[in-house]
A and B are shown apart, each in its own frame.
Chain A
Amino acid sequence: MLSVQIRKELHRANSPSFVLDVAFELPPGITILFGPSGAGKSTLLDCLAGLAKPDAGRISIDGELLFDSAIGANLPPQNRLIAYVFQSLALFPHMDVEANVSYGLAKLSPEDRRARVDAALAAFHVDALKARKPAAISGGERQRVALARSLVTSPRVLLLDEPLTGLDAQLKSSIIDDLRAWNSAQRIPIVYVTHSREEVDALGERMIAIDHGRVIDSGPPQHVLDAPRSKRLAQAAGFENLLQGKVMDLRETDGVMRIRLEASECEIEIPLGYAVPGNLVRVAVRAGDILLATEQPRGLSARNVLKGRIDSVEQRGTIVVTRVDCGVIFTVNVTPGAARVLELSPERKVWLVLKTHSCHLIAD
């Protein structure tokens, strides 16, 4: 168990000072650290690894103190036994793969070292690359070598800062499988920073969402991502529609409230939240959660049916991104098949259907 409770003020040029102020506990297993860029994720990892010093707080692993401002304790990074895979990977360019992986095992005898290195290289399927320099292997192989180099040291905690950025989905999932297999034996806390929904879905056990230096939510990833608590988090979680509106009235018995969207005539019903009539609020809706119809739909359970006109239709890979003007612009994702059958094209009159519970009230 890794217990963290730290506060650190950062002074950045040309911007107001930033305060990281977090407290949480991490059990063994993978915890995803999620948040928009600039939220304080890397600073947090640096503090855990000992590369940055918090102004105040306490960090301990299984009761052993790593940092405590109260008694002035601060273990240097080389004594923390916390492994860290950087976004840049930071493989030593002048050493071959084998030398990179054995770097953290200086205290072992040459025989033990060789055995451990061979096992780690095999576990991450890079044993054939031993004698190559980092510049002579592929991006995916470098990522595997970086993982092997960190894990071969038997760390007490593993920190991963977007280690799989830039890889295709198949390669990602095979590396994630290797990481999972390795940790099923070791059972250490792993902190995994990522923006990628793919990685979240593949790894998700637990998630901590941070923004502006604070923990704003935690729990199972689906729970955190499907009801984001802030605008920046909603954007990071892939909510394409972020609409501003005014609370018209609350219907407590129905558990809903009506919102008028921005300067339009559009009104939608969303789940009841902390607001009173007249408040300005933000509503987030995923583009994939909106239905699109070319005739006025009837007899639906969905309470929000909005009339509009197609503004643009654009195919991106396997989804068709349609922008619909209902007084406010909505982004709606449909499949290429649906777009073909419905003959979606600009200027076409359409209706949008939004389920009440697909509309999320978020705080700024």
Chain B
Amino acid sequence: MEALFLSIKLAACVSAILLVCGVPLAYWLANSQWRGKFLLESIVALPLVLPPTVLGFYLLVAMGPRGPLGRIWQAAFGHGLAFTFGGLVIASVIYSLPFAIQPLLFAFENVDRELLHASAVLGAGRLRTLWRVILPLSVPGVITAIVFSFAHTIGEFGVVLMVGGNLPGITRTVSIDIYDHVQSLEYAQASRLSLALLGMSFTVLAIVYGMNRKVGRRLWAPWAAKQDARC
């Protein structure tokens, strides 16, 4: 059970970070006229096609005591990054990035451009347009992005194994734990964990898909308007 909670904690952290970083990145990708944009789009999509072991390998090297990430981390926090929870969060954020960016990008690009123009001529800057027009009209995309990053992080295996190792309570996530149980022929424990994961994933997805269209917009718009009136 410790592994299950670790997985949930990891997925929650990753989803939160991806939401905060993903919205500006997707906004930029949706609106930039920069010619080299396709390069960044390719980099964002890389984790979709790379085997997790390749990604994990590079991340491990980067996070190692002589890697650039590892050295910065060492200087800032006084300990290494590989085989820690922090390292796992960074690796998962990168690995799940396309799963957050794609739904956000799709939603942002589908907002009628004329509405953005209307917002601008009514005096709103980019930030206010994002907050009051783009995000409220992209609620289904935002929810999908959160759920996909959460679910994808829960389900990841290869990258965690490469970067996190298998330290109980620190980096042993539920998918690794299940693998361990199967390796040691403890089918009962493996089955219990697998069933818990299956049930939880299905319940979350069902709730989200059920709520997505109906509730999201109704909740967000008045709340955002209130925030806006304050600032």
Contacts and interface: CB of A to CB of B under 8 A. Distances in A.
Interface string A50-90: 11000000000000000000000000111111111010101
A91 B119 CA distance: 9
B120 A78 contact: yes
A82 B74 CA distance: 54
A78 B117 contact: no
Contacts of B120: 50-51, 76-78
B112 A90 contact: yes
A354 B120 CA distance: 52
Task: Label chain B's interface by main secondary structure.
Answer: helix
A92 interface: yes
A99 interface: yes
- Chain A: interface size category: 20 to 34
B121 interface: yes
A149 interface: yes
Contacts of A76: 120
Given A95-B221, A110-B229, A78 B125 contact: yes
B162 to A, nearest CB: 44
A82 B229 CA distance: 23
A103 B132 contact: yes
Contacts of A106: 123-124, 128, 228
24 contacts: A50-B120, A51-B120, A51-B121, A77-B117, A78-B122, A78-B123, A79-B123, A81-B123, A82-B121, A83-B121, A86-B117, A86-B118, A88-B112, A90-B114, A90-B115, A90-B118, A92-B118, A95-B221, A103-B122, A104-B124, A106-B124, A106-B128, A106-B228, A150-B121
Interface of B: 112, 114-115, 117-125, 128, 132-133, 136-137, 217, 221, 225, 228-229
Interface of A: 49-51, 76-84, 86, 88, 90-95, 99, 103-104, 106-107, 110, 149-150, 153
